Structure 1
C-alpha cells in the first residue's frame, strides 16, 4: 500500500510514537485525523504536519477508552476525507509499582486505554475497511508483550492482551474471507518519548527509560513499513529481536535476566519519587513533544550494543545454570 494520499487516523498523536507516526505520514502526503486527549498538543502537531506540502490534518480530541468517542472519531474521518485507509492505535498509559501497591482503579485505567481503546478502534475502523475492501489496522504494542516485567505489571499485561486480541482479529478476518484488510502489531522496545516523565508512579522510586533506547522515528518507520507491506507482527530494533528470540527459546531465563535489568536500570539509583497518577486520568499540559532526551544520538550505538549484549549474556548464563541443576 503506497502511503501518498492515504487517509490515516492516529490515536495518541499528541506525543511520542503517535506524534512521530503523524509526522512521518505527513512528510509523505497522507491526509491525517489526529486524536488524543490534549487539545493544545493536538493542535501543535497538526500545525507541524501541515507544514509539509499537500498534507491535510484535522484534530479530534478523543479518550480512546470511550467507545462513543472513538466511533465519533471514525465518523469525523469519513466526513472529512470519505474513507479510512489506515488506523494507528498508539495511545498508551502505564503505572509503575509493585502489584500490591498499585490501586485497582489504576490497573483498570491502564487496561481501558491500552486494550479496550484498541478494541474500540477495531470496532470503529474494521467495518469501514471491510466495506472499502482494503485497509490496515496497526496496533502499537511492546516487546514486553513477549515476556514479563516487574513493577510494570498492568502495562505488560495490556501488551500481552493486545497481541492476543490482534491474533483473534486476524483469525476472524481470515475465516470471513476478507483479504484486503490487515491487522498488524508493532512491538518496540524502550523508546525516547515523554512517556516516562508523565507515567503514573506508585513505586516510590524515580523512573527512567531503560536502555537501550530507540527513537520514536524508528518506530514510525516500522509502522509505515507495516502499512506498505503488511505483516502480522513487526519487532523494532536489535534489542526487540533479541527479546523475541530469547522469549522463544529460553523464556524462563529471559524473565529472570530482564527482572534484574529492570530493577537496576529502569529506576534512578537512590532516586525517590512521590506518589503520582501521572497521565492516567488527564493529559499533560502544553504543546507536547516527540522525544524527551533519553536517546542521546552520539551514544546510541554503544548503549544499544551494551544493552543487547548484557541481556543476551544474562539469559545465556541463566540457561547454563538451569541446565546444571
Structure 2
C-alpha cells in the first residue's frame, strides 16, 4: 500500500532496469510514467503492463540529453499529473575505451545524458516536491562511480559526478522531507553492453557475476518512499568498494588483473 496510487516517473524505461522497475512498481499499485527515446517500445511496454496489472502507464518520448526537450516534457507532465511522487533517473549509457581512444563527441554525449540530463530531470520535479514536502529522487549510478577501472575513465567520471550530486542533494532535500537514494549496481544483464563493449569480451569475462535486471528493479522499488541512502549490488562488490576507500593501493595491486577484464 506504500506505493498505491503514487506517480513514479522513470527515465530510460524502454528496456533493462527501467522497464523492470515499471513492472514491479505497477505490481505494487503505483502509477508508472515511462520516458525514453523509443516511443514505440514505450507503447508496447505500457500495453503489456496494463494487460498484466490493469494499470496502463503513461508514456512520452524523451531524450534526457536534450535540455529543451526535458523542460518541455516535464512541464507537460507536471500539468497533467499534478503530483510526481518518485523520480527514477535511470537513463544512461557507457562506452569502454582506453584514454587514447576516447572520442570527445562521445564523451560529451555521455556527460549530457548521464549527468546533465539527470540534473535537469531532477530540477524539473524538485520544486514541486519541496512545495509538497514529500517525494523521492532515485539516481541509478554504478559501482563504477566508486571504483574506476581501465577503459571506463569517462563512464566512471560520469557516475562519480552522479554520486557527488546525489550526496549533496540528499543533504539539501532532507530539510523538506524528500528522500534521495543512489543505486549502485555492478554489471547487469541488459543491452547496455551492446554499446559499451562492442567486442563482447567484457560480458564473456564477467557473465557469471552479472546481476539480473529484475533483481535490481525489486531492490529499487523496495526502497521507494523510504529513507534509503544507497542500494549497492552485489554485496561482494560493495565490500570491495568499501575496502577500496580504505586501502586503494592494496586493492589496485591485488585486483589489477580483474580490473583489465573489459
Give yes or no for TM over 0.5.
yes
Report the counterpart of residue 91 of structure 2 in structure 1.
Answer: 91
Of 196, 200, 204, the residue aligned with 1:199 is 196
Counterparts in 2 of 1:87-236, with a 5 A limit?
87-174=87-174, 177-178=175-176, 180-199=177-196, 205-209=199-203, 210-211=206-207, 212-236=209-233
Report the counterpart of residue 81 of structure 1 in structure 2.
Answer: 81
Larger-Rg structure: 1
In structure 2, what is the Cα distance between the partners aligned to 1:244 and 1:229?
A: 24
Residues 283-308 of structure 1: CA deviation (Å, up to 9, x unaligned)? xxxxxxxxxxxxxxxxxxxxxxxxxx
In structure 2, what is the Cα distance between the partners aligned to 1:260 and 1:200?
A: 18
Counting matched residue pairs gives 259
In structure 1, what is the Cα distance between the partners aligned to 2:254 and 2:162?
A: 24
> 1:70 touches 1:120 (CA, 8 Å); kept in 2?
yes
Q: In structure 1, the residue corresponding to 2:252 is in which secondary structure?
A: helix
Of 220, 245, 249, the residue aligned with 1:252 is 249
The structure-2 alpha-carbon separation of the partners of 1:259 and 1:13, relative to structure 1 and needing over 3 Å to count, comes to farther
The structure-2 alpha-carbon separation of the partners of 1:61 and 1:237, relative to structure 1 and needing over 3 Å to count, comes to same
Residue 214 of structure 1 deviates from its aligned partner by 0.8
Residue 51 of structure 1 deviates from its aligned partner by 1.8
In structure 2, what is the Cα distance between the partners aligned to 1:245 and 1:31?
A: 36
Residue 158 of structure 1 deviates from its aligned partner by 0.7
What's the TM-score once normalised by structure 1's chain length? 0.75
Higher helix share: 2
What's the TM-score once normalised by structure 2's chain length? 0.92
Residues 47-82 of structure 1: CA deviation (Å, up to 9, x unaligned)? 122123341311111111122222233233333332
> 2:7 touches 2:85 (CA, 8 Å); kept in 1?
yes
> 2:86 touches 2:225 (CA, 8 Å); kept in 1?
no
Q: In structure 2, the residue corresponding to 1:17 is in which secondary structure?
A: helix
Counterparts in 2 of 1:39-54, with a 5 A limit?
39-54=39-54
Residue 262 of structure 1 deviates from its aligned partner by 3.6
Q: In structure 1, the residue corresponding to 2:151 is in which secondary structure?
A: coil
In structure 1, what is the Cα distance between the partners aligned to 2:152 and 2:9?
A: 28
1:12 aligns with 2:12: yes
Residue 245 of structure 1 deviates from its aligned partner by 2.5
The structure-2 alpha-carbon separation of the partners of 1:255 and 1:55, relative to structure 1 and needing over 3 Å to count, comes to farther
Q: In structure 1, the residue corresponding to 2:44 is in which secondary structure?
A: helix
The structure-2 alpha-carbon separation of the partners of 1:133 and 1:56, relative to structure 1 and needing over 3 Å to count, comes to farther
> 2:149 touches 2:260 (CA, 8 Å); kept in 1?
no
Report the counterpart of residue 284 of structure 1 in structure 2.
Answer: none
In structure 1, what is the Cα distance between the partners aligned to 2:71 and 2:245?
A: 37
Unaligned 5+ residue runs, structure 2?
Answer: none
Q: In structure 1, the residue corresponding to 2:72 is in which secondary structure?
A: helix
> 1:70 touches 1:121 (CA, 8 Å); kept in 2?
yes
The structure-2 alpha-carbon separation of the partners of 1:208 and 1:238, relative to structure 1 and needing over 3 Å to count, comes to same
Unaligned 5+ residue runs, structure 1?
Answer: 267-325
In structure 1, what is the Cα distance between the partners aligned to 2:10 and 2:186?
A: 20
